[in-house]
Chain A
Amino acid sequence: MDQQQQQSAIQGAKVLMVGAGGIGCELLKTLALSGFHDIHIIDMDTIEVSNLNRQFLFRRSHVGQSKAKVARDAVLRFRPHINIRSYHANVKNPEFDVDFFKQFDVVLNGLDNLDARRHVNRLCLAADVPLVESGTTGFLGQVTVHVKGKTECYECQTKPTPKTYPVCTITSTPTKFVHCIVWAKELLFAKLFGDKNQDNDLNVRANKAASASKETEDVFERAEDEDIEQYSRKIYDHVFGYNIEAALSNEETWKNRRRPRPIYSKDVLPESLTQKNGSTQNCSAASDDDSATVSAMPLLGLKNPQELWGLTQNSLVFIEALKLFFAKRKKEIGHLTFDKDDQLAVEFVTAAANIRAESFGIPLHSLFEAKGIAGNIVHAVATTNAIVAGLIVIEAIKVLKKDADKYRMTYCLEHPSRKMLLMPVEPFEPNPSCYVCSKTPLVLEINTQKSKLRDLVDKIVKAKLGMNLPLIMHGASLLYEVGDDLDDIMVANYNANLEKSLSELPSPVINGSILTVEDLQQELSCKINVKHREEFDEEKEPEGMVLSGWTQSPATNGESASTSNNESAVDVTESSSGPEIASKKRKLSETQPENHKRETENVESEDDDDLVEIENPMTVSKKKRVA
């Protein structure tokens, strides 16, 4: 009987879950209820208050503890006799190698970032273990099945990487609020409180001739006894006043653009106003308070993070927050990076972004909204995660029964499409030009005389190809590798290679060279055909190199299948670092609901056949369905 077959498949299964968060909690619960009794779960995170609205296995008293461990304990309470092994670790750790993955019958992902998903995808391919992937954002969700050789792997269709913006948009010509946030976060905050040795694009050169660098060095450096109030106003005036005026002096920039207006503190904030709130004035030498509780808003009588502040209030917050950093958190200055859970940092970035927005005529945003953008917060609810977890278990069971005909990708929609809120689609066959699961070589256009090996490693091998521990060979010559077992001479040699331009390497890489790049942990190997090119467009190709041959996927006709950021349905899932300054300006991909509207236009469901056949109208078509 089918039921019995199903039960024995479940009972004999050893399952790996990656992620014990929103989807993970729901998934572990449903797996346990469904009769699974050998489950391993990996998660590197600890529990936060904002998790509690949906990660129901956790309580307030668990904040700070390991998600994987607490989830395990909670589930054992209602299913005490099952075996759950938890790992409080990063799935990218070397201990989770191919042999580790091989012990499982199926791997179930409940991750929130593209990087980890790609990594797990490769390990599952190497171990030949089926993978069930998933993602949710708000009311949207999806579940997909990946079985080596039978279906697409997770990377057969390109997944857009996080949205980045050209440097000039951030430093000189913002048009959207998010540009102001990135400026406030990556430039201003970093310059004031971050690592001083980091490069920073903050100052715009007025005309090519002007060199303000000596002056600005003085502006941002605070003298030992410099009055905090004065310093804060000086910074304010510099970034919102002087820098804007300097930018305005470059006529070309503003020919077809709205001119920003310079804003000076004396016009917005009379001296008395800030000094009254200057409780910090007298405590400048005070000890560092618990940084979690230092906040500008209460001092200014601002209680509601959803409230929209005007220019005056934003300016007050800006000054006050700056003062508080110097008064109460002096030790941290020079080592800080923006953290969305750092209230003072969020206040500062919100205020700074708003003042800049005001200057450029961009609508202002509340702290609540700004925090979401700056922290790249995924909006999330319990219900979608619960639904997706149910769908994952259903696919997992099919995989265990090897019911290949029944594998489905299922989309959970916010609004019904042809009456469907849950839409199953047959998976596609593997993409023959996927560099991960098929063996297609890639093409890299690069200036082999100017670009260094380091650029290749950072921008291509690690960032684009998602390799963590890369190894690069040119023919028989090993140009670069990472590892614990390397001796000092080799390491020195590789470091030297990094600084050389490609054509100057011991085994020169020039036009026509073929490189082999590998990641031993992921067991992924690719070939890259190198083509020399002299010039690259600064705006469109700011990285100075172009990788191709990996985007062609018949299922999407070369276009990325989906949307913006975070764990959204259909493929995109990136929330680790949020919007960043330029590498390459990304094309806005189609949004998921639209994508499905297009796809489902051709749906034909025969009377007796419940299966939804989806034909992408864009497909030229050799794409075959998994039969």
Chain B
Amino acid sequence: MKKNSLDKEVLLSRFSRLNLRMDGEELTEQETALYDRQIRVWGANAQRRLTKSHILVSGIKGTVAEFCKNIVLAGVGSVTLMDDSLVNEEALNANFLIPPDENAYKGKTVAEICCDSLKDFNPMVLVSVEKGDLSARSTEFFEKFDVVVIGYGSLATKKAVNEKCRKLSKRVAFYTVDCRDSCGEIFVDLQDYKYTKKKLEEKVECELNFPSFQEAVSVPWKPIPRRTAKLYFAMRVIEVFEENEGRKHGECSLLDLPTVLEIKKKLCEANSVSESLIPDSLLERLITGTIEFPPACAIVGGILAQEVIKAVSGKGEPLKNFFYYDAQDGKGVMEDISNSFTS
């Protein structure tokens, strides 16, 4: 609200002298200069909250590299990276954080190399590496963070970590992201979330209730609207395939197609839906397109970063609860999938 009457200007000048602040410390002069253009998008309060946020990221390939770049530039408080896989040539694909110098990366983990590159983008952000297995971590481990992002995780890991996050009294925002071929999926769980949004020049308080990961991937298929993105169903088939066969993300080929189609058949039968719900061609793409498509990484990594920024700042309507991108049709859609369909 802009006040400008003569009586109040004396008060205003007195206030400024008393240095009455609102939301914690002011941004430093350096921060204000660096973040000027984005402060003009989301405001200084949102920026302040960003600078205090702590993000955990597990599983780094092209899309997650993009995501990390974006949030580091945005000026989050800290980014903790978890990925103990060793850097090899394959890791170089679509990941611009890894310089292609074998002497430099030999023996190092993906997280370690990416950490060094990311620090460079914004020295004000604390970027560090956490070693070990994410699914072996205790519930208390996650309390340190405001946001947890699992990239390319297994079904079991995604479920377990989401459950732990939900157990904490502090609300930890939970995201999963997966990119295969030129497709991508993002899942969002903000539990019970209050936020402000602009409606016709006014600020409105809103609330959303997000289903857990477990619930969101177990929703019966039959009541789900016909026009829902096929990728939702296709990804569930792939999840089951990888769990059954003990495969990691991308550890598959055309040879696995018969197995995958068998799983699709079983799932469709169990859900009493026609197999035509999921095109075979889509499944084929997802298991043969093991390397990520860099433009899709940029797109999905960008959308994911925007969501995390919104959740941390509490400003703007968040995606609920899935996002799908497919370069083949060029659409980026939000799907709201929960048990509410059955009621």
Contacts and interface: CB of A to CB of B under 8 A. Distances in A.
Given A381-B37, A422-B332, A301 B298 contact: no
Given A56-B73, A78-B96, A381 B38 contact: yes
B295 interface: yes
A26 B333 CA distance: 22
Contacts of A423: 331-332
Q: Report which residue of B37, B100, B298, B329 has the largest number of chain A beta carbons within 10 angstroms of its beta carbon.
A: B298
B286 interface: no
Contacts of B73: 53-54, 56, 382
A153 interface: no
A78 B100 contact: yes
A10 to B, nearest CB: 11
Given A49-B33, A420-B333, A610-B331, A389 B41 contact: no
B195 to A, nearest CB: 13
A200 B297 CA distance: 53
Given A80-B100, A382-B70, A382-B74, A415 B40 contact: no
A310 B10 contact: yes
Contacts of B34: 49-50, 52-53
A460 B182 CA distance: 47
A79 B100 contact: yes
A383 interface: yes
A50 B100 contact: no
B94 interface: yes
Interface in B36-54: 36-42, 44
Contact of B335 (A138, A310, A419): A419
A600 interface: no
A162 interface: no
A308 B37 contact: no
Interface string B320-334: 000101010111111
A516 interface: no
Interface string B1-19: 0111010111011001100
Contacts of A592: none
A92 interface: no
A269 B335 CA distance: 60
Contacts of B293: 34
A380 B40 CA distance: 8
Contact of B13 (A26, A54, A310): A310
A381 B74 contact: yes
B305 A421 contact: no
Contact of B36 (A53, A309, A386): A53
A443 interface: no
B275 interface: no
B37 A54 contact: yes
A552 interface: no
A33 B94 contact: yes
Interface string A268-287: 00000000000000000000
Interface in B86-113: 93-94, 96-100
Interface string A301-318: 110111111111100000
A311 B121 CA distance: 41
A416 interface: yes
A364 interface: yes
Contact of B295 (A30, A308, A364, A424): A30
Interface in A58-86: 59, 77-80
Contacts of A611: 329
A424 B10 contact: no
B21 to A, nearest CB: 9
B99 A391 contact: no
A310 B9 contact: yes
Contacts of B193: none
Residue among A79, A310, A422 having the largest count of chain B Cβ atoms under 10 Å: A310
A604 B136 CA distance: 48
Please classify how large the interface on chain B is, using the bins under 10, 10 to 19, 20 to 34, 35 or more.
35 or more
A394 B121 contact: no
B146 interface: no
Nearest to A26: B298
A56 B302 contact: no
A29 interface: yes
A67 to B, nearest CB: 15
Contacts of A368: 39
Interface stretch (A182-190, A221-229, A371-379, A496-504): A371-379
B294 interface: yes
Contacts of A408: 330
A41 B13 CA distance: 50
A358 interface: yes
B120 interface: yes
Interface residues of A, number: 70
Contact of B298 (A377, A390, A415): A390
Given A50-B33, A78-B98, A78-B99, A386 B70 contact: yes
A274 to B, nearest CB: 15
Contact of A420 (B2, B41, B75, B332): B332
Contact of B69 (A32, A49, A56, A379): A56
Given A363-B4, A381-B74, A312 B10 contact: yes
A247 B152 CA distance: 69
A11 to B, nearest CB: 14
Interface string B295-323: 11111011101100100000011010001
B269 to A, nearest CB: 22
A564 interface: no
B32 interface: yes
A471 to B, nearest CB: 40
Contacts of A328: none
Interface in A419-456: 419-424
Given A54-B73, A387-B303, A610-B331, A393 B38 contact: no
Interface in B268-305: 293-299, 301-303, 305
Contact of A379 (B9, B40, B98): B40
A82 B121 CA distance: 23
A231 interface: no
Given A78-B99, A309-B12, A421 B303 contact: yes
B294 A33 contact: yes
Given A311-B6, A381-B74, A422 B298 contact: no
A357 B9 CA distance: 14
A87 B296 CA distance: 28
A340 to B, nearest CB: 10
A30 B330 contact: no
A65 B261 CA distance: 55
Contacts of A53: 34-38, 73-75
B26 interface: yes
A619 interface: no
Nearest to A80: B100
A348 B250 CA distance: 59
22 contacts: A29-B96, A33-B294, A54-B38, A56-B69, A77-B99, A80-B100, A301-B17, A306-B44, A364-B4, A365-B2, A377-B40, A383-B303, A383-B309, A384-B302, A384-B306, A389-B295, A390-B296, A390-B298, A390-B302, A391-B299, A421-B303, A424-B331
Given A53-B38, A382-B38, A605-B227, 7 more contacts: A307-B16, A310-B4, A380-B37, A383-B70, A390-B302, A391-B299, A422-B333
Interface of A: 26, 29-30, 32-34, 49-50, 52-54, 56, 59, 77-80, 138-139, 301-302, 304-313, 357-358, 363-365, 368, 372, 377-384, 386-387, 389-391, 393-394, 408, 410, 412, 414-416, 419-424, 605, 607, 610-612
Interface of B: 2-4, 6, 8-10, 12-13, 16-17, 26, 32-42, 44, 62, 66, 69-70, 73-75, 93-94, 96-100, 120-121, 226-227, 293-299, 301-303, 305-306, 309, 316-317, 319, 323, 325, 327, 329-335
